[in-house]
Amino acid sequence: MYRYDDYDHAIVQARVAQFRGQTERYLAGKLSDDEFRPLRLQNGLYIQRHAPMLRLAVSYGLISARQLRRFADVARRYDRGFGHFTTRHNLQLNWVRLEDAPEILAELAEEELHAIQTSGNCIRNVTTDHFAGVAADEIGDPRPWAEILRQWSTFHPEFAYLPRKFKVAISGAAEDRAAIQVHDLGLQIVRNDAGEIGFKVYAGGGLGRTPLLGQVVREFLSWQQLLNYTEALVRVFNRHGRRDNAYKARIKILVKALGGEEFTRQVEEEWSRLKDGPATLTAAEVDRVTAQFAAPNYETLAADDLCHLSHLREDKAFARWVERNVHAHKVAGYAAVTLSLKKPSAAPGDATSEQMEAAADLAERYSFGEIRVSHEQNLILADVPQRELYTVWHRAKAAGLAAPTVGLIQDLIACPGGDFCGLANARSLPVAAAIQERFEDLDYQHDIGELELNISGCMNSCGHHHLGAIGILGVDKNGEEWYQVTLGGRQGNDARIGEVIGRAFAAAEVPDVVERLIGAYLAHRHADERFIDTFDRIGAEPFRIAAYPTPLEQRRVANG
Amino acid sequence: MANKIFKERRLQDDAWKVVNLVDGAAPIDVCLPVGPLLVPLAVWKAKKACLIHREYEHGTPLGIWLSPEDNIEDIAADIDDFTVIAVHFPTFTDGRGYSTARLLRERHGYDGELRAFGDIGRDQIFFLNRVGFDSFVLGEGRNVEDALKAFDDFPENYQGDAVQPLPLFRRRAA
């Protein structure tokens, strides 16, 4: 992974000092709330319901065992011994003290960690595919480009006060696992006819109040132009994005208002003036960064380990875990492993300090000392030899990291919701836990099969509910929590926004509604059909009927 | 008492007056007081001949101030006429002026004084300086001593900017 040189260290250290000064001035009453707010947000610090929340960056989801241990240590000493991994690879501490934030950041900086631009109206942490570098379907490794973009966007002087936040995702594989079409800027690594690497560029995607898929603004951007083009695109946004209404300030609204064609014309016009300028990437720089993501020293192994195969035959529970949590690897004899952070007793994405340390141990012993955070809020060991899987499973189980449910209903995605977040309209976590409890039976879960269920506590859509085959959105009705259900959403190459099926439900109804929706699927499914496939084949109506068994009119009468 | 401006890392006297366009007033009717003026774009467009005349006849240097909405392309042909171009920040969270500055410096080659004024303070100066501003009128109540320290907030930057066009990757020691 990328290791800091003296320049990188100096920049992060300077940030620590700068933020310490800003916090001191705020606490001394020299900075007003309004003045301090954008400054602290650009350093990941929110003032939440109970305490400040500090969002720490996990740049493009990649973290070393040492770094994860440092997170665990900080969470234990400055928080309540756990943290929350988000859908954008970051780690949130929910109970820190404002006064401690500068010291926390100073300690993290020693391990090349920071909270730079994890919030605020600036260019945010770049996200990517959690199988980067190990996926068989990879066209190019997205991590060097993500690092190059990280450096370019870090303290970019022109773009610290954008109309609204700006999120970038990059995918280097045939299958998009980074949800690039729902980002402000989505980059897909492609090769042109001459075999040269470049990017297909999407802009204007996003969830939130106005969910939209990104539009293709360029079919092929040669890699040398990555920063010039991005600078042009963000400049058009900075100059012309709306600033009168925070809900209409994302770039997607500008792209929609101008139309994809006009927006593209403006970006291309701006780019034509920046093209081949000093920010044009050099082969030397790309090589310098790429070298830091070189493949680890893989052993030469047989494609199938005999011991592993016999464990698979003999231990059904292990086989089930392998089926769901172990993923193909491009190198023979290796596999990628998902350490699940999903279970009813904890919020999705939550990890205790002990779990972080256990994951760090596993990474050090079995996976070259690196861990990834997935946007599905799990941890990934990307390079585990097949022969070690059985041991890894046992150890992961002991640490509570081995729920064999990746991709199943229990692997649902949820934001922290009203229990923590100051923006939320409703709580997400009790609903998530109620659903997970309802479907806790493993046989039932495996029978239902792959199903993406996403829960957001408000329209900001941090739980990506629009992308769930079943999406649940918390809404506020006269001070009460209600939940609106969408169906048919999906991520990936064929990304789609789910559709609302009807009136919202009370919290207590949600598990029943989900069960009825799943009942409809089980009743209609053909062999080998996933929930989403059945939905595509038969449409929303059978699900709607299942969700609202009593016609609305009668219900009104019944309720008086 | 003369106005003060923060320039070359110290507080200096400032002779420039900002002319505002009162709501509903026609730009052509704005009266121009004696001395160097920063006029709004609309006044520049309406009274360009008159302003240039002042410069020729009385040696009064020309200045303009731009609001975030103003298109700098509108003054592209006149840029060399100005001694001072000022960019207004109605709130410090409105970042359009940063693009304005870079375009003036890097695209249009403006090398006169580029002034930031409005709701700005110590925590904006570092970036403002990088995008090409070289003088600053701080917002009400902002601490000048503090602001002086802002120039040294970071020892190094990843991107090129109006001051150092080369990004770090072109300068990084091998």
pLDDT of residue B141: 82
pLDDT of residue A554: 52
Select the residue from A5, A161, A236 to test the B interface by mutation, using most B Cβ atoms within 10 A. Answer: A161
CA A429 and chain centroid, separation: 17
The Cα–Cα gap between B35 and A126 comes to 51
Q: Does domain B3-170 have CATH number 3.40.50.300?
A: no
Fold topology of A410-558: Sulfite Reductase Hemoprotein; domain 1 (3.30.413)
Contacts of B156 in chain A (CB under 8 A): 7, 10-11
Q: Name the percent of chain A lying above pLDDT 90.
A: 92
In this predicted structure, the answer to whether residue A558 has a pLDDT above a threshold of 50 is: no
In this predicted structure, the answer to whether residue B159 has a pLDDT above a threshold of 60 is: yes
pLDDT tens column, B114-155: 999 999 999 999 999 999 999 999 988 888 888 888 999 999
The Cα–Cα gap between A42 and B123 comes to 12
Contacts (Cβ under 8 Å, ≥6 apart) of A95: A50, A51, A79, A80
Which of A56-60, A498-502, B6-10 is least confident? B6-10
pLDDT tens column, B41-51: 999 999 999 99
Q: Does B154 contact A18 at a Cβ distance shorter than 8 Å?
A: yes
Chain B residue closest to A151 (CA)? B158
In this predicted structure, the answer to whether residue A347 has a pLDDT above a threshold of 80 is: yes
Instruction: Please provide the distance, in angstroms rounded to a whole number, between the alpha carbons at the two ends of chain B.
Output: 54
ipTM at complex level? 0.97
Q: Which band of pLDDT confidence, cut at 50, 70 and 90, is reported for residue B174?
A: low
Q: Tell me whether A20 touches chain B (CB under 8 Å).
A: no
pLDDT of residue A556: 52
The Cα–Cα gap between B104 and B79 comes to 8
* Cα→Cα distances A388→A348, A363, A498, Å: 27, 12, 40
**A380, A131 contact by CB (below 8 A):** yes
Q: Does B166 contact A35 at a Cβ distance shorter than 8 Å?
A: no
Q: Does A156 contact B159 at a Cβ distance shorter than 8 Å?
A: yes
Could you say which of 3.90.480.20, 3.40.50.2300, 3.40.50.300, 3.40.50.620 is the CATH number of the domain covering A6-109? 3.90.480.20
Mean of the pLDDT values across residues A24-30?
93
- Mean pLDDT, chain A, rounded, equals 95
CATH classification (class only), A306-405: alpha beta
Instruction: Give one word for A432, left, alpha or beta, with left for phi > 0 and alpha for psi -120 to 50.
Output: alpha
Place of tokens 């994951």: A359
**A84, A347 contact by CB (below 8 A):** yes
Contacts (Cβ under 8 Å, ≥6 apart) of A456: A414, A415, A417, A428, A462, A463, A464, A465, A471, A472, A473, A474
What pTM does this model have?
0.95
Q: Tell me whether B139 touches chain A (CB under 8 Å).
A: no
Token digits of residue A117 = 């631009």
A288-292 long-range contacts, CB within 8 A, separation 24+: A288/B169, A288/B172, A289/A2, A289/A144, A289/A147, A289/A148, A290/A141, A290/A144, A292/A1, A292/A2, A292/A3, A292/A144, A292/A147
Which 3 state secondary structure label does DSSP give A189? strand
Q: Does A18 contact B94 at a Cβ distance shorter than 8 Å?
A: no
Chain B residue closest to A31 (CA)? B142
Q: Tell me whether A151 touches chain B (CB under 8 Å).
A: yes
Nearest CA to CA, how far is B49 from chain A (Å)?
30
In this predicted structure, the answer to whether residue A393 has a pLDDT above a threshold of 80 is: yes
pLDDT of residue A555: 52
Looking at residue B77, the DSSP 8-state letter turns out to be G
Place of tokens 């720089």: A285
pLDDT tens column, A297-336: 999 999 999 999 999 999 999 999 999 999 999 999 999 9
- Mean pLDDT, chain B, rounded, equals 93
Which 3 state secondary structure label does DSSP give A236? helix
E strands within A353-449?
370-373, 379-385, 413-414
Domain range A134-290, CATH architecture: 2-Layer Sandwich (3.30)
All CATH 3.90.480.20 domain ranges in chain A, comma separated: 6-109, 306-405
Helix spans in chain B (H): 41-46, 48-58, 96-102, 122-130, 144-149
pLDDT tens column, B15-44: 999 999 988 889 999 989 999 999 999 999
Instruction: Please provide the distance, in angstroms rounded to a whole number, between the alpha carbons at the two ends of chain A.
Output: 63
pLDDT tens column, A79-137: 999 999 998 899 999 889 999 999 999 999 999 999 999 999 999 999 999 999 999 99
Contacts of A239 in chain B (CB under 8 A): 96, 99
pLDDT tens column, A476-485: 999 999 999 9
pLDDT tens column, A394-451: 999 999 999 999 999 999 999 989 988 888 999 999 999 999 999 999 999 999 999 9
The Cα–Cα gap between B121 and A358 comes to 46
> Which among B73, B65, B72 is positioned nearest to B39, based on CA atoms?
B65
pLDDT of residue A560: 41
The one-letter code for the residue type at A468 is: G
B24 by Cβ neighbours in 10 Å (0-12 / 13-18 / 19+) ranks as exposed
Q: Does A161 contact B92 at a Cβ distance shorter than 8 Å?
A: yes
Nearest Cβ partner of A235 from B99, B168, B172?
Answer: B99
Q: Which of residues 237-276 of A touch B (CB under 8 A)?
A: 238-239, 243, 273
pLDDT of residue B1: 44
Contacts of A25 in chain B (CB under 8 A): 146
Q: Tell me whether A32 touches chain B (CB under 8 Å).
A: no
